[in-house]
Structure 1
């Protein structure tokens, strides 16, 4: 008996992994509207910004290429030209590109992808928070090579202690990047948040480092945003008013719920709340927020803070599963392009089924890109099929 033909693979199964095509779909209108560097308009130039960004993204998704030389060599192959539509690229042209093409356009791509993805707030929070986006704030560092003199870290004059820092706003309820900034490793997280990443209508969830700057916390409230941060143990606390704690909240480990003022003499009532929760191991965690008790209960504040770990999980995914490790460029612009492309790759991959692909799923995607899996085999690969 003849074998029954397999049903065709649904187009939506594979559409989520045609990363380069989907990236260009978002990039093109932004590229057409931007003001270009005069060097880009040279009629002799064949290698444009779109080509540079596509090559960066291609390298992040390809398991074979791990260097600029390998990438430029691959660009001379027929299959690379057919798949990307790019001309062969020399080492000199690729190296020069980091000084010519502005990575700012990629931040626009991140914002566009965020607007398309939305935020999967739980139903009970959606009614209370309305359109407020809940985002974890943190940073992570990558080791840099000694030649990257701009990437100062612990010792400004050391040739070995070089690092690049990614400052990130990451959506807690559903993958999404609310903002990102690339700086030298020694750059302060709080300074970058204050000057580059603050935005109204966002609830920022941060670790205890952010609670060390009361001026920053006031600024967050002044622009119409909210914060939930872990309070440092050394903080000077003035209890102004005890707030009620329900039996359910006590059972969850909440021991204190008070309105507080922070600082030494002259501490002002900012309307901030302090929630202290005792973890199962006996550790006491103090959580500070400017969110009114009418909007979120003490239990909900603690639960939102508990979800902050998701940004740590994303950093691990970015470094270990994608991974973004080897630098294809060494200037600040080129490094920013590579890291922004890694974030874009994460959002495009997560758009398929609402979550980042795990290690096994990434293996299937890369084998498919290499031609070792056909469409049916990719659709059946573990972690690829959509939920539900």
Structure 2
């Protein structure tokens, strides 16, 4: 009788075959959290807990913990998760037993596989004009998104910080996938936390795209010190005009002249500035040359027309004010780069609207973190199996395939790129 060979759970297969590895990947966590269980009484293992979360992500019908637990004894669910039926008490208690950070190992493995495959860019050359490819490859959009759990008792409603979490994400613009993620909770789920989390996770040779929540001279200095650049939105009163810094030949450094394209776009000013200690939460000023670009959107711009009114700043004027360390790039290209920050909003929309992460399965910090990490794992797996970004219709067909309602050929119909 031939020996049974162990199933390969590595990330080496392509397309549809990769979907079959979704649940086996979690089996590497089976022994986690069992160190103190010498009598082997624990029945709900980390691998089954994480797999049950994946079941809810690929089956929108099971959107609550009660629904997931009630159907955990179904034969196919037990086969996929590698365990037996669980109780609601065990499922709730498991959130405090298992370490959410262990899922980061799987996330790092998937991110490395994503980099190895070099997925096609989401951004078209026509949209970014003459922006150099090396800048596009460095683009990382940064933001945070709040997730809240429904209060179980009226007393919980008095504590606004209870049952609230923030997912901080750095999204690689070229493929729309997260490069770095972190979850904070309670009182630290605010703008100060967004700046602090980014400051702790800065990387060199990166071009960060930041909204006004990150406006801080201290943070800008940190980004500059690690050897990276940024394009950040400011308020109208941030910064004051300064003299041009000196180049190596002791001559004033000149900014690129405003082109006709920049003027048609609405750029009205491009100047050197310095930031004082009142910018954001900073107590110090900017310690490097800083450029400020002021743009007043035209009334017929698409972003204004959709809302039926002009886009306004806090001061009441329709202004878009950007600060950047890219001193050699034409103003219109800086504006085009900042518009790519929308990729991080699309990423959060995918997590909440497509994967259903608006509905949290747990009200414990660890449980929320594990659900979000499993959602990120799912997002990366979907990008790997589809070869890039994925639509809601494609996600629905993948769910039908995993549930047995669609075969491989029907799945490939929606995954294959159009001719």
Q: State which of 244, 248, 253 in structure 1 corresponds to 2:256.
A: 244
Distance change in 2, residues 1:318/1:40 (3 Å): farther
Q: How far, CA to CA, are the matches of 1:200 and 1:357 in structure 2? A: 29
Verify the 8 A CA contact 2:100 2:370 in the aligned structure 1. Answer: yes
Q: How far, CA to CA, are the matches of 1:35 and 1:93 in structure 2? A: 16
Structural RMSD (CA): 3.2
Q: Note if 1:65 corresponds to 2:96.
A: no
1:35, distance to aligned residue in structure 2 (A): 8.0
1:36, distance to aligned residue in structure 2 (A): 5.6
Q: How far, CA to CA, are the matches of 2:112 and 2:387 in structure 1? A: 14
Q: How far, CA to CA, are the matches of 1:14 and 1:232 in structure 2? A: 48
How many residue pairs get matched? 362
Q: Note if 1:270 corresponds to 2:288.
A: yes
Q: How far, CA to CA, are the matches of 2:298 and 2:20 in structure 1? A: 45
Q: How far, CA to CA, are the matches of 1:14 and 1:98 in structure 2? A: 31
Distance change in 2, residues 1:228/1:108 (3 Å): farther
Show CA shifts across 1:104-158 (max 9, x none).
122333233222223656787665449x632111111122132599xx9xx8x43
Greater mean alpha carbon deviation, residues 334-343 or residues 134-143 = 134-143
* Corresponding residue for residue 233 of structure 1: 236
* Corresponding residue for residue 386 of structure 1: 417
Distance change in 2, residues 1:94/1:219 (3 Å): same
Show CA shifts across 1:152-208 (max 9, x none).
9xx8x4379742221111121102212222222652234344344333333221111
Q: How far, CA to CA, are the matches of 1:114 and 1:41 in structure 2? A: 35
Verify the 8 A CA contact 2:33 2:46 in the aligned structure 1. Answer: no
Q: State which of 96, 104, 110 in structure 1 corresponds to 2:107.
A: 110
Distance change in 2, residues 1:261/1:98 (3 Å): same
Verify the 8 A CA contact 1:324 1:339 in the aligned structure 2. Answer: yes
Q: State which of 204, 209, 213 in structure 1 corresponds to 2:208.
A: 204
Distance change in 2, residues 1:203/1:36 (3 Å): farther
TM-score by length of 1: 0.81
- SS state of the match for residue 45, structure 1? coil
Distance change in 2, residues 1:285/1:328 (3 Å): same
- SS state of the match for residue 380, structure 2? helix
Q: Note if 1:280 corresponds to 2:284.
A: no
In structure 2, the gaps of 5 or more residues are 1-12, 245-253, 279-283, 300-309, 311-317
1:307, distance to aligned residue in structure 2 (A): 0.8
1:301-380 matches, cutoff 5 A: 301-380=334-413
* Corresponding residue for residue 6 of structure 1: none
Distance change in 2, residues 1:248/1:192 (3 Å): closer
- SS state of the match for residue 240, structure 1? coil
- SS state of the match for residue 352, structure 1? helix
Distance change in 2, residues 1:41/1:183 (3 Å): farther
1:92-131 matches, cutoff 5 A: 92-118=89-115, 128-129=134-135
Q: How far, CA to CA, are the matches of 1:61 and 1:217 in structure 2? A: 40
* Corresponding residue for residue 5 of structure 2: none
Show CA shifts across 1:324-369 (max 9, x none).
1322221100011011111221121122334432222222222222
Q: How far, CA to CA, are the matches of 1:317 and 1:267 in structure 2? A: 37
Distance change in 2, residues 1:313/1:148 (3 Å): farther
Q: State which of 269, 278, 290 in structure 2 corresponds to 1:256.
A: 269
Show CA shifts across 1:286-321 (max 9, x none).
11112342xx44333211100111211222222112
In structure 1, the gaps of 5 or more residues are 1-10
Q: How far, CA to CA, are the matches of 1:161 and 1:224 in structure 2? A: 38
* Corresponding residue for residue 3 of structure 1: none
